[in-house]
Amino acid sequence: MNRARSQLALLLLLIAALACASPVAPRTRVYAPLDTGLARNLYVTTNTQREAVLAELKLAGFASTRDTSVTPLVLVVRLGRVRRASSCGTVRNVSYELRQSGVVVAVIKGRGWIGSCDPNVLREMNAVLAHLFDSRM
């Protein structure tokens, strides 16, 4: 009986671990509208993999600046711990927080592959971010 319970517990633990490493489509929460006159120029902060984040943003049509006085838009990018690794990249939780003049405008969260893997969660999240800019009124 105890052996069956321990095997069941091990199986449930394995299932839970795999679920935490599965990709999750980006989810968006919009708190305020973006100003209509703003260009796609962002000041980007990130806790890791800055060059990869900036490269993916550039592919999505965003420019980045090193000076906060150039743009009122700040994108805070947080990459979580590695959940799974492969030869093409890693699975991570990713969070984007878009701020306009210090006020949080939108938060985008997702989980997926980062690196040369396809699909790439950064590309998916950048598409959602671009949609926020395209849907301004």
DSSP string, 91-102: EEEEEEEEEETT
98 contacts: CB under 8 Å, gap ≥ 6 = 34, 73, 74, 75, 104, 105, 106, 107, 108, 129, 132
Q: What is the pLDDT of residue 83?
A: 87
Largest CA distance in the chain: 68
**Low-confidence residues in the chain, pLDDT < 50:** 137
Residue 104, strand partner residues: 99
Q: Which CATH number, 3.30.310, 3.30.160, 3.20.20, 3.40.50, labels domain 24-134? A: 3.30.160
